[in-house]
Amino acid sequence: MKFDFRKIAVKDIEGKESNLDISKELGNTIYKNTPDLGELEFAQELYKKGEVEVDEPKAEIIRKYLEIGQFFAFVKKAVNDKLDSINPKK
Protein backbone atom coordinates (compact mmCIF):
# COMPACT_ATOMS: atom_id res chain seq x y z
CA MET A 1 0.00 0.00 0.00
CA LYS A 2 1.33 3.47 -0.90
CA PHE A 3 1.66 6.01 1.87
CA ASP A 4 2.49 9.67 1.36
CA PHE A 5 4.42 10.84 4.40
CA ARG A 6 4.30 14.40 3.04
CA LYS A 7 0.56 14.44 3.82
CA ILE A 8 -0.06 12.88 7.22
CA ALA A 9 -3.50 13.91 8.47
CA VAL A 10 -3.21 15.05 12.09
CA LYS A 11 -5.84 16.51 14.41
CA ASP A 12 -5.37 19.34 16.86
CA ILE A 13 -6.86 19.31 20.35
CA GLU A 14 -10.19 20.60 19.01
CA GLY A 15 -10.35 17.88 16.33
CA LYS A 16 -9.47 20.17 13.42
CA GLU A 17 -7.56 18.22 10.77
CA SER A 18 -4.51 19.40 8.86
CA ASN A 19 -1.68 17.77 6.92
CA LEU A 20 1.86 17.43 8.17
CA ASP A 21 4.99 16.48 6.19
CA ILE A 22 7.14 14.08 8.21
CA SER A 23 8.91 12.41 5.27
CA LYS A 24 12.27 14.10 5.77
CA GLU A 25 12.30 13.90 9.57
CA LEU A 26 11.28 10.22 9.62
CA GLY A 27 13.66 9.34 6.78
CA ASN A 28 16.48 11.11 8.62
CA THR A 29 15.65 9.36 11.91
CA ILE A 30 15.80 5.94 10.27
CA TYR A 31 18.95 6.83 8.31
CA LYS A 32 20.85 8.03 11.38
CA ASN A 33 19.86 5.16 13.66
CA THR A 34 19.73 2.00 11.57
CA PRO A 35 22.43 -0.65 11.45
CA ASP A 36 20.54 -2.37 8.58
CA LEU A 37 21.30 -1.69 4.89
CA GLY A 38 17.71 -2.40 3.82
CA GLU A 39 16.39 0.12 6.34
CA LEU A 40 19.02 2.60 5.14
CA GLU A 41 17.75 2.30 1.55
CA PHE A 42 14.15 2.64 2.74
CA ALA A 43 15.12 5.78 4.69
CA GLN A 44 16.68 7.32 1.58
CA GLU A 45 13.59 6.55 -0.51
CA LEU A 46 11.30 7.98 2.16
CA TYR A 47 13.41 11.13 2.47
CA LYS A 48 13.70 11.72 -1.28
CA LYS A 49 10.23 10.70 -2.50
CA GLY A 50 7.93 11.12 0.49
CA GLU A 51 5.48 8.62 -0.99
CA VAL A 52 6.58 5.01 -0.51
CA GLU A 53 5.19 1.49 -0.65
CA VAL A 54 4.58 0.21 2.88
CA ASP A 55 3.95 -3.44 3.72
CA GLU A 56 3.78 -5.00 7.20
CA PRO A 57 7.60 -5.33 7.65
CA LYS A 58 8.12 -1.69 6.64
CA ALA A 59 5.24 -0.65 8.91
CA GLU A 60 7.11 -2.25 11.82
CA ILE A 61 10.28 -0.35 10.85
CA ILE A 62 8.32 2.91 10.84
CA ARG A 63 6.72 2.12 14.22
CA LYS A 64 10.14 1.37 15.72
CA TYR A 65 11.70 4.64 14.54
CA LEU A 66 8.69 6.74 15.51
CA GLU A 67 9.58 5.80 19.09
CA ILE A 68 13.28 6.62 18.64
CA GLY A 69 12.67 9.98 16.93
CA GLN A 70 11.45 13.22 18.43
CA PHE A 71 7.86 12.81 17.27
CA PHE A 72 4.98 14.19 19.30
CA ALA A 73 2.22 11.82 20.45
CA PHE A 74 -0.39 13.29 18.09
CA VAL A 75 1.93 12.55 15.13
CA LYS A 76 2.62 9.01 16.35
CA LYS A 77 -1.12 8.42 16.70
CA ALA A 78 -1.84 9.66 13.17
CA VAL A 79 0.90 7.53 11.62
CA ASN A 80 0.06 4.42 13.65
CA ASP A 81 -3.64 4.75 12.77
CA LYS A 82 -2.65 4.92 9.10
CA LEU A 83 -0.30 1.93 9.45
CA ASP A 84 -3.06 -0.05 11.16
CA SER A 85 -4.96 -0.01 7.86
CA ILE A 86 -2.33 -2.42 6.49
CA ASN A 87 -3.01 -4.98 9.20
CA PRO A 88 -6.21 -4.19 11.13
CA LYS A 89 -5.35 -6.77 13.83
CA LYS A 90 -2.82 -4.37 15.39
Each domain of the chain, given as residue ranges in start order, spans: 2-84
Asked if pLDDT for residue 34 goes beyond 60, the answer is yes
pLDDT band at 35 (very low <50, low <70, confident <90, very high): very high
pLDDT more than 90, % of the chain: 88
Q: Which residues pair with 19 in a beta bridge?
A: 9
Tally helices (H) and strands (E) across the chain. 4, 4
Give the mean pLDDT of the chain.
94
pLDDT band at 88 (very low <50, low <70, confident <90, very high): low
Q: Mean per-residue pLDDT for 42-63?
A: 97
pTM for the whole structure:
0.90
Q: CA dihedral in degrees (29, 35, 36, 37; nearest 10)?
A: 90
